[in-house]
Structure 1
């Protein structure tokens, strides 16, 4: 008598990983890809150090009557510039390139939450900026006599300015990535406004040396407020006299950066494109 074959029971499909696990995995991928571009990584880390060396060599040791050193003044500005450059400029150019070469189009077809891509990008920005700040501070302390603040409150201020700054710069980088018509033009289109912002936001030129109309323009954008927040950390109470209002206005800094973060999220949600203009 022939035995009846047993019925084959289909195996249940394995459940997909949680959105958080996918986002963390994407963050690891983005960070590895970032550090494979060794020339870009070296340039990103070296640029603020080169500027610090130049400014410390060109200008006097301290601002008159305040005791604020060149290292204190320019370290704060260059940290703000580094955060904005990595989050806004580098991220915007990188995403424009992903759109141009079809990476974004392919990711849409994967069973991956779209938010995981953005979380991965922002995580890579965070890793890059943390390392950049650590290297810049080490150089400033070892070679230019920068004294790090001893108060916990100063480092708490640094932490929230840094987190809000990285977040706002990153979402603005994501938003502006759709402005260039192609990946090839992204560098020129995104770099120009960033370079202009550095000159009017207190990175290279003290904010008090700028005409009122330029200060008013700079005050619209987040970089000026990031630099001001970092100056409060490294210059302390003595440096407040160098600010236009005689105060660091920490409450206003928090409001402006938070507003840019929310506004950037709205821009991303309403204008972000997963396909290039040629793809329709």
Structure 2
């Protein structure tokens, strides 16, 4: 087995182990349950509201799913990386051959499992509460799957880069939440991007979150809904290309940032960081 393949296997195993730990963590599961209950409650109260003959909840569902992918890939990885940097996990990864690459694979694995777990809960609730939200045919199901996969591959490296740049775990949530909120606001996940000024539309289309939301809507909404999109269509090919480019470029950039950051880690640096974290705790 090649070193890269071995690192991928170890990273995937680590991601699975961390997910099992999450399932028995009361704080993390409490947060997950509350967030999912909030989303399901929104769908429940929107189910009888109609917009041009379509349920408002049916329009909201792909937006929620797209946001879950974006937040799971970006915020989840950024926060986890900042914590692992503070407690010395990243330093230990550096000591293993291809350890940084394996660590990035583990975070991609963990983010994928957690995101799919949350998406499954919301999607099943949507199928039970709403009519006509299931993908129409094999093609739409395949679109849903590749949009989720490419969306995670495009956003996880961005989360790793953000987590590598923040100074502490305490500051990671605020900075990453602000960043993802701004990107969501200009990416038209919850409303047509055509309602924004032209220059904001251009900026929004640069980032993967717009294309992630567009792909989700193309899989779950009728073709007639594409009239509200830019160009009046789903732009499926463009969606796949942009997300794939972000995935490839982001992975190379994330590896570079993590390796550079890991080279600056040492036992004394980690210990000093722990001391500052303890002082903040008091």
TM range (shorter): 0.7 to 0.9
What residue number does 1:232 align with?
218
Q: Separation in 2 of the partners of 1:211 and 1:47?
A: 31
What residue number does 2:45 align with?
57
Q: How many residues align?
A: 262
Q: Separation in 2 of the partners of 1:138 and 1:24?
A: 26
Q: Separation in 1 of the partners of 2:96 and 2:32?
A: 32
Which one is further off, 82-91 or 267-276?
Answer: 267-276
What residue number does 2:31 align with?
43
Q: Separation in 1 of the partners of 2:185 and 2:35?
A: 15
Unaligned runs of 5+ in 2: 271-282
Change (3 A) 1:230 1:90: same
1:20 deviation in Å? 4.8
Change (3 A) 1:203 1:51: farther
What residue number does 1:12 align with?
none
Q: Does 1:85 align with 2:56?
A: no
What residue number does 2:122 align with?
136
1:136 deviation in Å? 0.5
Q: Separation in 1 of the partners of 2:221 and 2:36?
A: 18
1:219 deviation in Å? 1.0
1:123 deviation in Å? 1.0
Which one is further off, 89-98 or 17-26?
Answer: 17-26
1:256 deviation in Å? 1.0
Q: CA RMSD in A?
A: 2.5
What residue number does 1:22 align with?
10
Change (3 A) 1:18 1:212: closer
Q: Does 1:256 align with 2:246?
A: no
What residue number does 1:279 align with?
269
- Check conservation: 1:72, 1:231, Cα contact below 8 A: no
1:223 deviation in Å? 0.8
Change (3 A) 1:142 1:233: same
CA displacement, residues 43-94 of structure 1 (integer Å, 9 cap, x when unaligned): 2454255245336636973332xx4322221111111100111110011111
What residue number does 1:147 align with?
133
CA displacement, residues 199-218 of structure 1 (integer Å, 9 cap, x when unaligned): 22223333333332322221
What residue number does 1:221 align with?
207
TM-score by length of 2: 0.83
| Local SS of the residue matching 2:170 | coil
- Check conservation: 1:92, 1:176, Cα contact below 8 A: yes
Unaligned runs of 5+ in 1: 1-16
TM-score by length of 1: 0.83
What residue number does 1:196 align with?
182
